[in-house]
Amino acid sequence: MTKRFFSILLLGLGLAKLPAAELKITKQIDVWPSGVPGEKGEIPPESITSREYRGESIQILSNVSKPTLTVYKPDPAKDTGASVVICPGGGYNILAIEHEGTEVAAWLNSIGVTGVVLKYRVPRRKDLEKHDAPLQDVQRAVSLVRHHGKEWGLDPKRIGILGFSAGGHLSAAALTGYDKPHYKPVDAIDKTSCRPDFGVLIYPAYLVDKETKSKLSPELRITKNTPPVFLVHAADDRVPAEGSVRFWQELHRKGVGTELHIFPKGGHGYGLRPSEFPVTNWPSLCADWLKSTGILKR
């Protein structure tokens, strides 16, 4: 694919990749300013490297011990007041911080939504469930965004969460486990609700258990009060699409507003990068869903 064709395709999908100079950080804050719970100083220093994936170079963030939130506000003329906490994927071992993080913030900005990239703890901590430390980070992150909503010009009732792969599982855990805080409160911010108002799960992993492949993972407890969710998966994904289907089924049975798209082909890990497969049109479908649910109202 030539660079010119790649750019035209991006623009045609409304996914033009903003240069770094155009995607401006509004603010960056520590998720845990007074000490990260449970950390013992055993993780090597944080690092970022490049890796080839699906024929393209992507940035990989490793060894995160100090979680942060990086806020990207849209142009004031477009700003809807809605915001989304973004959870990059990486198997709970690394973070695909660019194509499942900052590029997503740029797309959200283009539709008038504030993108908040969560740098959560990886790799998996010894003797803990894969998602234990990250779930603490994401619950605290949603509370932080809501707590600072007025100050940051955000609607506290339109705070969503969007995750890819393992980040999709983390987002699902946040959507279904907000009523059970995963850590002891540390300050007044933790009195603020960590319930996302909506969720977007793109090729989410780990939604069903390893044994039956049909039962939802035990940490995912869907009720009638679970927020509405938009899901996308490809049938040829190495992470079985049945997980997304099963999650959708349970949402539907509980009367939760949800939308599911399963595409024949597309694989895994595409983020917002376009390909010859229609699955990479998901941002347009998602934007339509956000409009239809009133999330993009101004």
Q: What confidence category does residue 55 fall into, taking pLDDT thresholds of 50, 70 and 90?
A: confident
pLDDT score of 92 more than 80: yes
pLDDT of residue 182: 93
What H or E segment, with its residue span, contains residue 21?
Answer: none
Q: What confidence category does residue 120 fall into, taking pLDDT thresholds of 50, 70 and 90?
A: very high
Collapse the DSSP code of 113 into the 3-class scheme (helix H, G, I; strand E, B; otherwise coil) and give the result: coil
- The pTM assigned to this predicted structure is 0.93
pLDDT of residue 298: 83
pLDDT of residue 6: 34
Q: Summarize pLDDT for 16-38 with one digit per residue, the tens.
A: 444 444 788 999 999 999 999 99
Say which CATH topology domain 3-36+44-292 has.
Rossmann fold (3.40.50)
Mean pLDDT of 49-73: 95
pLDDT of residue 213: 76
On average, the pLDDT of the chain sits at 92
Collapse the DSSP code of 62 into the 3-class scheme (helix H, G, I; strand E, B; otherwise coil) and give the result: strand
Collapse the DSSP code of 205 into the 3-class scheme (helix H, G, I; strand E, B; otherwise coil) and give the result: coil
Q: Are 263 and 233 in contact (CB under 8 A)?
A: yes
The whole-angstrom separation of Cα 296 and Cα 79 is 9
Q: Which of 10-19, 114-123, 145-154, 262-271 has the lowest mean pLDDT?
A: 10-19
pLDDT of residue 10: 40
What H or E segment, with its residue span, contains residue 244?
Answer: helix 242-253
Return contacts of 241-249, CB within 8 angstroms, 24+ apart: 242/208, 242/213, 242/214, 243/204, 243/205, 243/206, 243/207, 243/208, 244/201, 244/203, 244/204, 244/207, 246/207, 246/208, 246/214, 246/215, 246/216, 247/172, 247/201, 247/204, 247/207, 247/216, 247/220, 247/222
Burial of 184 (0-12, 13-18, 19+ CB in 10 A): exposed
